[in-house]
């Protein structure tokens, strides 16, 4: 594609976007002047969450924290509870920290100021500066990567290559709309499987379509192997009130959850030893096995053997605590056991 063709390509995509762009609640405000707080919350939510699922969490979060000031003043536990089920809880912790910074210093006015906030990387800074200030910064995400790889028939696009192509094609007059348009095209037309080339506004310029095999571009990424983690967990109390501990780590850090201890399944007697050590730490007595639960988080599959136990630290109200899905699955075992012991 020659430089002379770029204006026609931009015009075609932007005309399609003006007709077919998604009506999303965080796109409030005029083009290039979106509401910064709503756009920011949405971009953080959508970093690891698809739009269809993210809508539910977005509305729930905005109901709980309708402004950056309300978010900044809220206890972290309340923020994590509102984020519950969305995963990648470091996003919520960073958003809370960043909101406190914004209440002291004001909302970012430049790409560099967005980039200086906790949890905001190059993609999010480019998105927010273009959406809210119409700044000329091109975004680079999975949808953009796929659209540009197909446009240029590039089977193995590197992040640097994608950014270079995105920068070159960015519409200088409407950068915010252009970024939204490329992402919408990738999400609704130029999809990973069965791309709808017949209705694509860029089909006349698309190298992948010309090849006859658009689905081959880009080539699939090599996925890391799923790591399996096995642990014992104890339920002291019941599904309404139980002993909970504060989690750490990137995925679940800040959440509360049932006490658990990993073990190496290759070692003989490892589950029993892990249960003994866990109960000794809690000053609790182990009880019967309630069942087994499994949950996959990113590239990690975690399996818990869940035991009842007695004694230990004080109980916590489960309903008000922010818990992972794995913990909710484990707590559900207590309800099923109660039903089996006391059938209706």
Active-site residue, from 5, 31, 43, 292: 43
Cα angle 100, 104, 109 (rounded to 5 degrees) comes to 100
Checking if the pLDDT of 294 tops 50, the result is yes
d(CA 101, CA 117): 8
Categorize the per-residue pLDDT at 336 as very low, low, confident or very high, splitting at 50, 70 and 90: low
* 146 occurs within a structural domain: no
pLDDT value of position 341? 37
Q: Are strands 245-246 and 227-236 parallel, antiparallel or unpaired?
A: unpaired
* CATH number, domain with residue 81: 1.10.340.30
* CATH number, domain with residue 319: 3.90.79.10
This prediction has a pTM of 0.87
> Pick the residue with more confidence: 322 or 336?
322
d(CA 55, CA 322): 20
User: Which stretch of DSSP H or E encloses residue 58?
Assistant: helix 51-64
Do 132 and 245 have their domain in common? no
Tell whether omega for the bond before 217 is within 30 degrees of 0, i.e. cis: no
Do 265 and 125 have their domain in common? no
pLDDT value of position 66? 98
Q: How many residues does the chain have?
A: 344
Active site residue 5: no
pLDDT in tens, 210-253: 999 999 999 998 888 889 999 999 999 999 999 999 988 766 77
Checking if the pLDDT of 21 tops 70, the result is yes
Cα angle 267, 270, 271 (rounded to 5 degrees) comes to 140
Do 133 and 9 have their domain in common? yes
DSSP 67: S
d(CA 39, CA 44): 9
% of the chain at pLDDT higher than 90: 85
> Which residues touch 186 (CB under 8 Å, ≥6 apart)?
142, 143, 144, 146, 147
Categorize the per-residue pLDDT at 120 as very low, low, confident or very high, splitting at 50, 70 and 90: very high
Categorize the per-residue pLDDT at 104 as very low, low, confident or very high, splitting at 50, 70 and 90: very high
Per-residue H/E/C for 100-160: HHHHHHCCCCCHHHHHCCCCCCHHHHHHHHHHHHCCCCCCCCHHHHHHHHHHCCCCCCCHH
d(CA 300, CA 318): 25
> Which residues touch 113 (CB under 8 Å, ≥6 apart)?
none
Residue pair 238/342 in contact (Cβ under 8 Å)? The answer is no
Do 235 and 178 have their domain in common? no
pLDDT in tens, 126-171: 999 999 999 999 999 999 999 999 999 999 999 999 999 999 999 9
* 263 occurs within a structural domain: yes
Number of domains in the chain: 2
Q: What is the residue range of 303's domain?
A: 227-331
* 208 occurs within a structural domain: no
Cα angle 237, 241, 247 (rounded to 5 degrees) comes to 95
Between the alpha carbon of residue 162 and those of residues 1, 8, 104, 236, the distances in Å are 16, 21, 36, 51
pLDDT in tens, 60-80: 999 999 999 999 999 999 999
* 339 occurs within a structural domain: no
Interhelix angle 142-151/175-188, rounded to 10 degrees, is: 80
Per-residue H/E/C for 138-153: CCCCHHHHHHHHHHCC
Q: Is the dihedral of CA 319, 320, 325, 330 positive or negative?
A: negative
d(CA 309, CA 232): 12
pLDDT value of position 251? 67
Residue pair 243/256 in contact (Cβ under 8 Å)? The answer is no
* 103 occurs within a structural domain: yes
pLDDT in tens, 159-210: 999 999 999 999 999 999 999 999 999 999 999 999 999 999 999 999 999 9
pLDDT in tens, 29-63: 899 999 999 999 999 999 888 898 899 999 999 99
Do 120 and 247 have their domain in common? no
Mean model confidence pLDDT for the chain: 93
* 283 occurs within a structural domain: yes
């Amino acid at each position: 594609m020659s430089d002379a063709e770029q204006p026609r390509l931009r015009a075609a995509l932007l005309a399609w976007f003006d007709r077919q762009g998604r009506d999303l609640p965080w796109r409030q405000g005029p083009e290039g002047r979106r509401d910064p707080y709503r756009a920011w919350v949405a971009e953080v939510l959508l970093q690891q969450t698809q739009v269809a699922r993210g809508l539910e969490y977005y509305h729930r979060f905005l109901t709980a924290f309708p402004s950056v000031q309300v978010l900044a003043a809220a206890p972290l536990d309340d923020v994590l509870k509102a984020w519950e089920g969305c995963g990648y809880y470091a996003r919520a912790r960073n958003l809370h920290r960043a909101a406190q910074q914004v209440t002291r210093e004001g909302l970012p006015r430049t790409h560099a100021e967005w980039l200086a906030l906790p949890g905001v990387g190059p993609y999010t800074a480019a998105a927010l500066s273009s959406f809210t200030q119409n700044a000329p910064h091109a975004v680079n995400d999975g949808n953009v990567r796929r659209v540009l790889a197909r446009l240029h028939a590039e089977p193995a696009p590197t992040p640097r290559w994608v950014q270079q192509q995105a920068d070159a094609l960015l519409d200088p007059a409407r950068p915010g709309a252009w970024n939204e348009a490329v992402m919408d095209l990738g999400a609704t037309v130029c999809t990973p499987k069965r791309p709808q080339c017949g209705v694509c506004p860029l089909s006349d310029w698309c190298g992948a379509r010309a090849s006859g095999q658009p689905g081959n571009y880009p080539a699939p990424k090599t996925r890391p192997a799923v790591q399996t983690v096995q642990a014992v967990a104890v339920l002291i109390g019941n599904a309404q009130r139980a002993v909970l501990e504060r989690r750490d780590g990137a995925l679940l850090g800040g959440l509360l959850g049932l006490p658990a201890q990993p073990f190496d399944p290759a070692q003989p007697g490892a589950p029993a030893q892990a249960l003994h050590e866990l109960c000794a730490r809690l000053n609790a007595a182990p009880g019967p096995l309630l069942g087994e639960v499994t949950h996959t988080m990113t590239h990690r599959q975690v399996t818990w053997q869940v035991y009842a136990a007695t004694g230990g630290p004080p109980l916590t109200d489960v309903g008000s605590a922010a818990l992972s899905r794995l913990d909710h699955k484990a707590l559900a075992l207590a309800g099923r056991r109660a039903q089996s012991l006391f059938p209706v």
